[in-house]
Structure 1
Amino acid sequence: MKKAILDVIKKYETIIIHRHVRPDPDAYGSQMGLAAVLEASFPDKLIYCVGEGEPSLHFLGEVDVIADSVYENALVIVCDTANTERIDDTRFSAGKELVKIDHHPNDDAYGDYSWVDTTASSCSEMITAFVETFPDNLTLNEKAARLLYAGIVGDTGRFLFPNTTPETLRYAADLVTFPFNRTEIFTKMYETPMNAVKLSGYILQNFQMSANGAAHIYINRDLLEQFDVTARDAAQLVNRIDSVIGIKAWILFIEDGPIIRARLRSKGPVINGLAKQYRGGGHPLASGATLESELEIPEMVAKLEALCN
């Protein structure tokens, strides 16, 4: 499949790269890292990255704004996105052909070409592997290495999560041979505004955990206003309680307009099945879901409790 994707890339003069909504470092890293690789490898091609910009990730790069007409006879590549509903910018289907590159469970096998590797720590790791598979055709430079490294760091939690494999570390080692500023990446990626730090303190003082190690907390609209944070800012705090002794799995519920977003994390129990029951999905130990009302929270918490038991 990697060879097929390389061949189809060579065919097109225009390539448009998408990723998922509410992007994280891996979404940006894989999307823009692939773009940097293709720009260096095929300087005559037109390469674009699209989607809604995320201010906290502007240190990695800026997205492009393009007209609908650019999609005519273009190749579209979607990175780090499990299903079509989460692809940022609905024009992804307007191109001539569609490629999916992803590391999430392949529940929605979209695209004319689909390369899914659930053993990879991140989509950025997959892009790095793609480049290293074809060294005579694809060029890795400092710009691409910086982006791909940031994506790997983000999805592995600075190499602390269990999705970090020997291959992950080998690819990261190859990327850091380029002289980009790793300290800057860590600083920008993990710096937290003061109001979010204060909300973090509230979470630490008010989360609930059962004897079985199932924990949760609900951040409603009033709390978001009290601490002057956005729902996205609050979502970044999902791992604040991961070091609590005895915790097995937890859910951070956040009111976000008419819906409630649920961010699930685990140290053992498989939680993506639970996320799928609530209009979500993801990895076995890190998933997300969407609740339609507060009435679903106790039900979901009870199911998490059963998993931890």
Structure 2
Amino acid sequence: MNIYQQIEAEIKAASNIVITSHKSADGDSIGSSLGLLRFIQKLGKTARVCHPDPAPNFLYWLDTSGFLLMTEQPEEVAAAFETADLVFCLDYNATNRIGPDMQALLEAVTCKTVMIDHHLNPEAFPTLTVSETTASSTSELIVELIEQSGNGALLDSEIGTPLYLGILTDTGSFRFPSTKPRTHEILAKLLGAGVEHHLVHEALSDNNTASRLRLQGYAMCEKLEIMEDYMVAIISLSKEELAKYNYQKGDTDNLANQALSIKGMKAAIVFTERDGIMKMSFRSKGVENPVNVLAAEHFNGGGHANASGGMSELSVTETVEKIKGLVPSYFSIQ
């Protein structure tokens, strides 16, 4: 029995299943959670999705109305954990990635837990672990679960659409090195199952608000700094600047990729002042320019070699100066 068949057996034996994912929801955390939920329902079981916080606005076209949020429904989330007999941990590999309140609930459960994730250096907290660091996304691994547990016939557009979304967003529209031949094989399976990929792209691309575009335009025009000796771009946005452009969650998500698209750029670092800290996004190109080590060693973060997150408790100005001081140690001069 392979690991995916073991997970299927646990699903079928469970009565109260909880699906969790990391803070600061993104396309892969939402897509993998929703795809797994619908697969579990196809198996005739019930599950609740419990996330730390809401999805960003650009994902509201997905039906996440049944999700329980720690920030909005703490009592319902706590009750779901207390009655759970199986908990899934999707798209994260350390319990502190779900925030302190939900972390306490997860670490208190006595039932079996299942990690399905693709990030480096997983902690050894789950009962069952699928940790495939070469996979493009956790959504790709949910497709593997469905296929390799012998349930490929259940894959349809309802399950497949959020999983396609998760793969699409975590691969940067299939441009990152994590996009492997197997990724395209899985995408073909999703299209064969009825996923209308063009509608997913339209839903993601054609949902800008005027304020979001103005904020992004301001960031690129007024806040973009380029360390030309190293070809590293930096964008910083204070809480006042975000408020001026009526910032909504998700409005700055693509800024790092936009900056990285500048000809010759090796890396881009974007940070925004929110909730009293600087939330940071690191993006880079090529195996010779990893950003996860920089994020982990200096900004309490980490992730993939070319796509990582982090945070800083310094001021905007101090964070910019810290980054500029560190860049020469992590990127070669032109």
Residue in structure 2 matched with residue 276 of structure 1 by the alignment: 296
Name the stretch that deviates more: 58-67 or 79-88.
58-67
The answer for unaligned runs of 5 or more in structure 2 is: 69-75
Question: 1:83-98 maps to which residues of 2 (within 5 A)?
Answer: 83-87=94-98, 89-90=102-103, 91-93=105-107, 94=109, 96-98=111-113
> For 1:271 and 1:172, how far apart are their aligned partners in 2?
27
2:78 pairs, out of 68, 88, 94, with 68
1:198 pairs, out of 214, 230, 234, with 214
Question: 1:1-309 maps to which residues of 2 (within 5 A)?
Answer: 1-41=3-43, 43=44, 45-51=45-51, 52-54=53-55, 55-62=57-64, 63-65=66-68, 66=76, 68-71=78-81, 72-87=83-98, 89-90=102-103, 91-93=105-107, 94=109, 96-136=111-151, 139-190=154-205, 191-206=207-222, 207-210=224-227, 211-230=229-248, 232-268=250-286, 269-277=289-297, 278-294=299-315, 295-309=318-332
> For 1:106 and 1:114, how far apart are their aligned partners in 2?
12
> For 1:222 and 1:305, how far apart are their aligned partners in 2?
30
Q: Percent identity?
A: 28
Distance 1:247 1:103, change over 3 A: same
The one-letter amino acid paired with 1:121 is S
SS of the equivalent of 1:176 reads helix
How many aligned positions are there?
307
Offset of residue 215 of structure 1 = 1.4
CA offsets, 1:204-259, max 9 Å, x none?
Answer: 22311122211102111221122221464223422111221121011001111310
SS of the equivalent of 2:268 reads strand
TM-score, reference length from structure 1: 0.92
Residue 27 of structure 2 contacts residue 59 of structure 2 at CA under 8 Å; is this kept in 1?
Answer: yes
Distance 1:302 1:192, change over 3 A: farther
Distance 1:107 1:47, change over 3 A: closer
The one-letter amino acid paired with 1:76 is V
> For 1:301 and 1:257, how far apart are their aligned partners in 2?
24
Residue 231 of structure 1 contacts residue 255 of structure 1 at CA under 8 Å; is this kept in 2?
Answer: no
> For 1:126 and 1:132, how far apart are their aligned partners in 2?
10
SS of the equivalent of 1:50 reads strand
The one-letter amino acid paired with 2:94 is N
Offset of residue 138 of structure 1 = 7.4
Residue 231 of structure 1 contacts residue 254 of structure 1 at CA under 8 Å; is this kept in 2?
Answer: no
Q: Note the aligned Cα RMSD (angstroms).
A: 2.0
> For 1:107 and 1:184, how far apart are their aligned partners in 2?
34
Residue 37 of structure 1 contacts residue 138 of structure 1 at CA under 8 Å; is this kept in 2?
Answer: no
